[in-house]
Amino acid sequence: MRNKARVSAEDCAACGCCVKVCPRAAITVPHGVCAVVDADRCVGCGKCVRECPASIISLEAAEA
């Protein structure tokens, strides 16, 4: 088990702040609508969680 980032989609402002700080390029904002995390790339570092101005990214336990 390891932590993975999860975005609360309904509140995402699509600002892109999380995309810029992710060291694994695990986050994209398809069509400028809402951030999406690629769980296969995410290493659970938490940088995006700290960066999101809307505080809508959380780390959750997920199957490795």
Q: Which residues bind ligand SF4 (CB under 6 A)?
A: 5, 7, 12-18, 21-22, 24, 26-27, 29, 35, 37, 42-48, 51-52, 54, 56-57
Give which of 33, 28, 31, 37 is closest to 7, Cα–Cα: 37
State the DSSP code for 47. Answer: H
Min separation Cβ 42 and ligand SF4, Å: 3
Residue 22 class from Cβ within 10 Å (0-12 exposed, 13-18 middle, 19+ buried)?
A: buried
Nearest approach in angstroms of CB 6 to ligand SF4 is: 9
What's the closest the beta carbon of residue 49 comes to ligand SF4, in angstroms? 6
